[in-house]
Amino acid sequence: MKLETIRKIIGGILLVSLSSLLFFHPFQQYLSIPNNITVFKGQQYTIQKAAPVAAEVQMHNKSISLKQERHSISVSANEQGKNEMIMEFAGIPVKQVDVNVLKDFKVIPGGQSIGVKLNTVGVLVVGHHLVNTEEGKKSPGEIAGIKVGDIITEINGTKIDKMSDVAPFVQTAGQNGQPLNMVISRESGKFTTKLTPLKDKGEEMYKLGLYIRDSAAGIGTMTFMDPRSKKYGALGHVISDMDTKKPIVVDDGQIVRSTVTSIEKGSNGDPGEKLARFSSDREIVGNINKNSPFGIFGKLNKELKNGIMDEPLPIALSNQVKEGPAKILTVVNNDKVEAFNIEIVSTIPQKFPATKGMVIKVTDPKLLEKTGGIVQGMSGSPIIQDGKLVGAVTHVFVNDPTSGYGVHIEWMLNDAGINIYDKPMEKAS
């Protein structure tokens, strides 16, 4: 038999053997064992295994202990610290798993309906309008190169905080025939421009030719509160301006209690909505200092209770969330927080902060009857699974209001300035 033929036969045997190994159940389970495990003190992490696989701990400290069953290895987190776990197959070391035990951490879940008021940095340009001058229709703002979504931060060297700051400059400049020196903030950076106000025929008021706004208001749902720092997170997604569709750059803001007055039920192609009003006393219960892709964040100055789950709960990291039953806390009538059944259809164990980490589906008959599923205003509703806070509702699927996205609580805590890790979080680019 030729040497080349023998090589081909041996190669074929090796290929068949390797293919068989890939489908060998113990080998598949070995591949599924993670290289790194992060768990909170007091919690347990279970690894499913084939019978021949065993584990040993390289004891640097007493941070973990193991309990080995025939088809599983349970890692108990005893103390904060790091250890290595060596996986063995038939007495031969085959894999090292690094185990990081984080300090015990718990937050209080929300579910309350809240009213939100955001104050922008400067005044936001939301549109252009034409001034009917003696020389024809013109927009001074458009002529000056100002675009929708721009933010006016200074006029003639004076900082602009609100709409009422603008009018005196406009009238004075118009009467004197002098242009305004304006500082404009845009996504690409700041720039300066000159704008000459004009007035309509037959009128005495000078105009910018711009529609501007200095605040935005709406409703949402509280997600969590840290009982130690009083920091909170809500909504689970960024607040964008209704006209420009761009994220609102926040100078400051406030949250107040709100009451749900009625529900516009969702249907395919038509997302529903919670209709709510701010509490009659307009009492400010917290501030807003950040509006990010993961929600709004700040500090509470008043205690908020949901009435059904007011004790601190442990959290789950993104790699600890699993597919299966869960609950959400939200308000569908007045200010009463209720728990409703959902299903986590899929979950992504994200290594870096990212939105849309889960797909969820409402399964609770009572909630489906009341709302049709996920509706606007439900964003931020905390998701609870196995007694842990795992995330928040963020978006509804337009063509299927029973389903939508959720964000992992890990990233909301990070944006709230709550560091649950031993080292600084890496930022996504």
**Residues taking part in catalysis:** 237, 364, 379
Residue whose tokens read 């041996």: 10
> Which runs of E-coded beta strand occur in 129-209?
131-133, 136-138, 151-155, 158-159, 180-186, 189-195, 198-199, 206-207
* DSSP conformation class of 89: E
Rounded to a whole number of angstroms, the distance between the first and last alpha carbons of the chain is 59
Q: What angle do CA 336, 338, 343 make, to 5 degrees?
A: 155
Residues 289-304 as b/e (b if ≥16 CB within 10 A, e otherwise) read bebbbbbbbbbbeeeb
Contact 182, 192 (CB under 8 A): yes
Other C-beta atoms lying within 10 Å of the C-beta of residue 219: 26
Collect all residues with Cβ–Cβ distance below 8 Å to 182 and sequence separation of at least 6: 144, 146, 152, 154, 155, 192, 193, 194, 195
Rounded Cα distance, 235 and 377, in Å: 8
Nearest to 166 by CA among 209, 204, 202: 209
Among the residues of 44-185, which ranges form H helices? 140-143, 167-176
Rounded Cα distance, 339 and 275, in Å: 19
Contact 337, 380 (CB under 8 A): no
Please tell me whether residue 76 adopts helix, strand or coil conformation. Answer: strand
Rounded Cα distance, 245 and 247, in Å: 7
Strand partners, 53: 89
β-strand 36-40 against 92-102: which pairing, if any?
parallel
Collect all residues with Cβ–Cβ distance below 8 Å to 285 and sequence separation of at least 6: 114, 255, 256, 257, 300, 301, 302, 304
Rounded Cα distance, 360 and 244, in Å: 29
